[in-house]
């Protein structure tokens, strides 16, 4: 049974409620949540679990990975500390005494300037997301509040500040600001109209000069928090990768870098390079993402399957790669699944800006060359613009982490079917395309040839359920 213990101290009248259930209260500021904490007490004092990862994350608290525990002690009633927005998350609770707290969203976005206030005593705690300004006024003497943070203080960290008396925020302080102890610095902070909003954590796109990297550039544009890196500026196989960035400044890594030379991977040099990029480098990225609680996006392939299924492949089908390239992609998938915050984007038959099958067929048609094209491999084309848009969608909507099949729309076709469609779209006779089997096509090859999955069709139900429908069509490729 819940009961209350009233304590009087130097004229104050504080009430701490014992026996409450652990519970969450949402606020008007996204991500700012108040927790009721069970406090167990008797005549000797009280005990509480101030931070309990398993129980609190089960109620929706982000697993924010605190690295430092700080305590602020305030001797006098009315001590008021300014509205500071820091570049890290905080878990704030009261050890002794009572405080009035005011929080103002100082992040870029539609909720910039939103305000929330409440009192905290030992039976309450609040999670303050990065970029939300927070300030506290003590309501009892000898008040101490503690806060866990998920980054170490840095002299180069970017803060934003808001004046305690800002008219737009209109905070109703229990003790007027004219009667309390405030630092000169806090008195001189800017009004809301002059505040520099805190931008989102950085998103790093690796492999930005490749076909998918270029599509991601088109999708994300030049927003200040988006950073692009090609192999000349960030090589994921470099042993110094883990110290190449201040990784705590990032929220997401999108890895568009990979070894994709399917046939060359069957030779000794190619096998080494494929494993270095698709497995060794990916292992380092996975370690970085796990250590710094980043979201890691990885692009996988239909080549992780052997192509013998009689139905489209689902995300949970067992991996069964045929060749070296497929083996490295399958190994990479397994590594990425160890990262708590990950998206694996499994795709097939990728078409982007650069040399690709569609452009080759269009060129042959224009030059009056009649190609022989494989007719016993079936799948769907995937335009890099669809992959980029799908990645953006999953991250923005905070879709559940995991593996998602993502190809462009349309009925499954063979390579020969697609070639005929290209001929038709470019004004040429599709009958000029001749069907051949995979064995016939590679019969005269003088270098190693990787085995291909005959069925590369991926089931798209899971990504459709998130609200994303790929838009790409072959006709649009030529029209736009």
pLDDT in tens, 2-36: 333 334 333 344 456 667 789 999 999 999 999 99
Domains of the chain: 3-194 (2.60.120.10), 202-479 (3.40.50.720)
Return the closest-CA partner of residue 191 out of 159, 225, 164, 218. Answer: 164
**What is the CA angle 5-7-11, rounded to 5?**
155
pTM: 0.85
Return the closest-CA partner of residue 74 out of 147, 124, 140. Answer: 140
Specify whether the CB–CB gap between 201 and 252 falls below 8 A: yes
Query: What pLDDT shows up at residue 459?
Result: 97
Which is catalytic among the residues 84, 225, 392, 401? 84
Which is catalytic among the residues 18, 136, 145, 147? 147
Specify whether the CB–CB gap between 131 and 107 falls below 8 A: yes
Instruction: Please count the residues of the chain.
Output: 480
Query: What pLDDT shows up at residue 16?
Result: 60
Mean pLDDT by 10 residues, the chain (480 residues): 36 56 94 94 87 93 91 93 93 95 96 97 95 96 94 82 96 94 92 93 95 96 93 91 90 96 95 95 95 95 97 97 97 97 97 92 96 96 96 96 95 96 96 96 91 97 96 71
Query: What pLDDT shows up at residue 474?
Result: 78
Catalytic residue status for 84: yes
Q: d(Cα 405, Cα 228) in Å, to the nearest integer? A: 25
Return the closest-CA partner of residue 352 out of 327, 379, 382, 331. Answer: 382
Catalytic residue status for 147: yes
Query: What pLDDT shows up at residue 480?
Result: 56
Query: What pLDDT shows up at residue 22?
Result: 93
pLDDT tens for residues 59-81?
A: 999 888 899 999 999 999 999 99
């Amino acid at each position: 049974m819940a009961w209350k213990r009233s304590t009087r101290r130097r004229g104050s009248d504080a009430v701490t409620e014992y026996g409450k259930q652990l519970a969450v209260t949402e606020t008007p500021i996204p991500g700012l949540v108040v927790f009721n904490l069970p406090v167990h007490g008797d005549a000797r004092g009280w005990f509480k679990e101030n931070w309990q990862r398993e129980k609190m994350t089960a109620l929706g608290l982000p697993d924010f990975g605190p690295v430092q525990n700080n305590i602020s002690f305030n001797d006098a009633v009315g001590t008021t500390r300014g509205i500071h927005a820091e570049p890290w998350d905080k878990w704030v609770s009261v050890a002794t005494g009572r405080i009035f707290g005011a929080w103002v969203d100082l992040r870029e976005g539609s909720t910039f300037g939103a305000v929330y206030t409440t009192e905290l005593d030992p039976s309450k705690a609040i999670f303050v997301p990065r970029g939300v300004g927070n300030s506290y006024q003590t309501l009892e003497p000898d008040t101490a509040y503690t806060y866990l943070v998920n980054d170490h203080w840095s002299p180069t960290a970017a803060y934003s500040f808001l004046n305690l008396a800002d008219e737009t925020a209109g905070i109703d302080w229990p003790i007027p600001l004219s009667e309390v102890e405030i630092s000169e610095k806090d008195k001189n902070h800017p009004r809301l109209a002059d505040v520099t909003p805190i931008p989102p954590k950085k998103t790093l796109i690796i492999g930005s000069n490749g076909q998918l990297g270029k599509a991601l550039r088109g999708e994300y544009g030049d927003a200040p928090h988006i950073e692009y890196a090609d192999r000349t500026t960030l090589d994921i196989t470099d042993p110094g990768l883990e110290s190449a960035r201040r990784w705590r400044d990032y929220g997401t890594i999108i890895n568009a870098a990979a070894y994709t030379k399917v046939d060359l991977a069957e030779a000794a040099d190619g096998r080494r390079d494929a494993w270095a990029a698709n497995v060794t480098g990916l292992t380092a990225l996975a370690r970085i993402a796990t250590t710094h609680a980043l979201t890691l996006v990885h692009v996988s392939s239909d080549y992780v399957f052997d192509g013998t299924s009689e139905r489209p492949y689902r995300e949970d089908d067992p991996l069964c790669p045929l060749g070296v390239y497929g083996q490295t992609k399958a190994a990479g998938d397994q590594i990425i699944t160890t990262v708590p915050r990950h998206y694996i984007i499994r795709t097939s038959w990728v078409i982007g800006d650069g040399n690709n099958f569609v452009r080759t067929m269009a060129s042959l048609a224009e030059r009056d060359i009649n190609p022989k094209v494989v007719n016993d491999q079936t799948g769907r084309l995937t335009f890099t613009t669809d992959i980029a848009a799908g990645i953006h969608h999953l991250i923005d909507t905070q879709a559940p982490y995991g593996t998602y099949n993502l190809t462009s729309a349309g009925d499954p076709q063979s390579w020969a079917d697609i070639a005929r469609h290209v001929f038709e779209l470019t004004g040429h006779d599709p009958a000029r395309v001749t069907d051949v089997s995979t064995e016939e096509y590679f019969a005269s090859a003088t270098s190693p040839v990787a085995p291909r999955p005959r069925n590369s069709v991926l089931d798209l139900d899971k990504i459709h359920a998130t609200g994303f429908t790929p838009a790409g069509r072959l006709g649009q490729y030529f029209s736009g």
